[in-house]
Structure 1
Amino acid sequence: MTRRTALITGSAIRVGKAIAVALAEQGFDIALHYNQSSQEAVKTAEAVRKFGVDATLYQANLSQPEQCRDLIGRVFKENDLSVLVNSAAVFPETDSIMEGLADWDAVMGLNLRAPLELSKAFVDNTPLSGHIINILDARINRPAGDHLVYRLSKAGLWHLTESLAQELAPNIQVNGLALGAIMAPPGASQDHFERMAEKIPLARTGTPKAIGDAVAFLVAQEFITGVVLPIDGGEFL
């Protein structure tokens, strides 16, 4: 019997890595995508293989639409791909209207267009059934002035998740996870991250394992689609 394969974008590091490990633990072979983090990708593949499954590395710059489509084609050619997790994203520190929206193309290209291109290519190659999981951000339900373009990209991805769930049913189930305080943002101190627990009803920050477990839960369901599950400890209720 052929094992199912899950493609997780940006799975060399951080949340993407946790998702790859969690799905490997559930028996999925892993198509491990990376762009520049080649050394980290090799280490993640080693962690995945400890569960007795295969891990294959795929490099692609997902800000280029043709590379999105090529990536899906390469994975399908070599695997029984049934799960796509859109985890790769960019979170620029300088991202406001006052700074001239310089990051617009880069953020929108990777955070919103890439998941759409990947999902389209996934559907074109998956006639029977499959799962698409989009990684979102819980903060976008509470408007603020920081990280303007990032927020817009994730809001668009939220809408895309719900739209695709309707358009691709009944063959493809499309869901999302809206993340809260899971890992310290790049450049932030661990102390600052830990103090964030003071604003969270559960009085603690989350862990990457919680995200991996949630993805594993969603891909095991046969009657859930169009859902965005908050993983934020109640912070954005």
Structure 2
Amino acid sequence: MELQGKVALVTGGGVRVGRALVLALAKAGCDVFIHYGNSEAAAAEVKAEVEALGKRAFTYSADLGNPTATDTIIPKAVEVFGQVDILINSASIFPEEVDRFDQVDVTLWDQLFAINLRAPFQLCQAFARQIPPEGKGKIININDARIPRPKPNTFAYRLTKRGLWDMTEILALELAPRITVNGLALGQILEPPDVPDAKKFMEDFANRLIPVKIPGSPQVVTDTAIFLLEQDFITGATVRLDGGQFI
């Protein structure tokens, strides 16, 4: 796909990896619909950066935990831009509380599944429906590189991401040949929020745990995303970006 002049929708586009993806898409020539949950100020800043690059941008808040709110996202993007050519499901949540099999409760379970799996499903479904019969589209689902190695911790979270991994492959077949569907499974790409010395944290982490001894970075994600969006032959792939940590 030639990205110049296309319209991309990025969920969670105001902060962290989502923000990096928004800016990379704008630099590649896309207009961008920036979804956010609560990061209104950050989304506004990214919108201004996109516009400074000479591309159109629109910010929109919707609670991905609410299926009715989620259903408004694609129609709003189509209303603003006419069509959406690229969907990147970047937004997700990681449990702040205990998420072990014997301790996870139904409330946490429902929240994780709603945001991490149901919302991407709804958005993929609505995205596919608005692509014309002879049109082309691209979907990228942002995932977690640790998922292929089962562990007892983060029980419900892992199930949501395993579901997203499988959904990526199923939709690649379901939506071919009009739409390609791929995933990016991230390792330690950014430091955790509120780390006082981000550079030191990432370097120490790489030296201890990453075989290639190179810190992760948003550019690794954006470069790979742009590569996948420009390809028409690759579909159903989830590319692990972890420096070898979860081999």
Q: Does 1:60 align with 2:62?
A: yes
Q: Does 1:13 align with 2:15?
A: yes
State how far apart, in whole Å, the 2-side matches of 1:60 and 1:236 are.
33
2:205 aligned residue = 196
Choose the corresponding residue for 2:151, options 130, 134, 144. 144
Q: Which amino acid aligns with 1:86?
A: N
Structure 1 stretches of 5 or more lacking a match? Answer: none
State how far apart, in whole Å, the 1-side matches of 2:101 and 2:232 are.
42
Q: Aligned runs of 1:106-117 on 2, under 5 Å?
A: 106-117=111-122
Q: Is the 8 A contact 1:63 1:110 kept in 2?
A: yes
- Three-state SS of the structure 1 residue aligned to 2:58 is strand
Choose the corresponding residue for 2:104, options 100, 103, 113. 100
Q: Does 1:84 align with 2:94?
A: no
Question: Which region of structure 1 is more displaced relative to structure 2, 87-96 or 107-116?
Answer: 87-96
Q: Which amino acid aligns with 1:16?
A: G
- Three-state SS of the structure 2 residue aligned to 1:225 is coil
Deviation above 6 Å: which 4+ runs of structure 1? none
State how far apart, in whole Å, the 2-side matches of 1:124 and 1:67 are.
18
Q: TM-score, normalised by structure 1?
A: 0.94
Q: Offset at 1:188?
A: 5.8
State how far apart, in whole Å, the 2-side matches of 1:73 and 1:130 are.
16
2:176 aligned residue = 169
- Three-state SS of the structure 2 residue aligned to 1:204 is coil
- Three-state SS of the structure 2 residue aligned to 1:139 is coil
Q: Does 1:218 align with 2:228?
A: yes
1:205 aligned residue = 215
Per-residue displacement from partner, 1:192-231 (whole Å, max 9, x unpaired)?
A: 5543212111102211121112111111111110011111
Q: Is the 8 A contact 1:19 1:213 kept in 2?
A: no
State how far apart, in whole Å, the 2-side matches of 1:230 and 1:50 are.
32
Question: Which region of structure 1 is more displaced relative to structure 2, 25-34 or 51-60?
Answer: 51-60
Q: Is the 8 A contact 1:133 1:177 kept in 2?
A: yes
Structure 2 stretches of 5 or more lacking a match? Answer: none
State how far apart, in whole Å, the 2-side matches of 1:77 and 1:234 are.
42
Q: TM-score, normalised by structure 2?
A: 0.91
Question: Which region of structure 1 is more displaced relative to structure 2, 209-218 or 150-159?
Answer: 209-218
| Percent identity of equivalent pairs | 42
Cα RMSD (Å) of the superposition?
1.6
State how far apart, in whole Å, the 1-side matches of 2:49 and 2:219 are.
14
1:40 aligned residue = 42
Question: Which region of structure 1 is more displaced relative to structure 2, 186-195 or 103-112?
Answer: 186-195
2:241 aligned residue = 231
Q: Is the 8 A contact 1:11 1:17 kept in 2?
A: yes
1:182 aligned residue = 189
Q: Is the 8 A contact 2:202 2:216 kept in 1?
A: no
State how far apart, in whole Å, the 2-side matches of 1:24 and 1:187 are.
28
